[in-house]
């Protein structure tokens, strides 16, 4: 899906710092980015060092904030239930409104 939305030949991420999880291991060879942060992967023959474990934990603690925000936005049923709209631009408006409501909830 990432390659369909953002083709690698368009250099969409060339000026961005990208943080991804282990599901995007091939992003470094497909895309040109300013910096790419990917957690270290443990293999059968190469266990992680303590430094790598601490680095992974720091990345996970940043990522969990985003995951909690997405979960908080899903409290609004319009994002959780099936939405039968034909206007795809309206989806962006709905997500923007839910994100704004969630941010307002966090501040209040």
Per-residue model confidence as pLDDT tens for the chain (108 residues)? 888 888 888 888 888 888 888 888 888 888 888 888 889 988 889 899 999 999 999 999 988 988 898 899 989 888 888 888 888 889 889 999 999 999 999 887
CB 37 within 8 A of CB 22: no
Residue 25 sits at the vertex; the CA angle it makes with 19 and 30, to the nearest 5 degrees, is: 90
């Amino acid at each position: 899906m990432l390659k369909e939305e953002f083709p690698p030949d368009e250099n969409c991420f060339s000026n961005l710092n990208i943080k991804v999880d282990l599901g995007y291991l091939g992003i470094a060879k497909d895309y040109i980015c300013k910096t790419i942060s990917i957690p270290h992967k443990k293999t059968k023959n190469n266990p992680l060092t303590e430094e790598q474990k601490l680095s992974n934990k720091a990345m996970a603690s940043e990522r969990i904030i985003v995951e909690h925000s997405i979960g908080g936005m899903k409290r609004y049923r319009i994002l959780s239930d099936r939405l039968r709209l034909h206007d795809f631009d309206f989806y962006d408006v709905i997500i923007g409104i839910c994100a704004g409501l969630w941010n307002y909830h966090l501040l209040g």
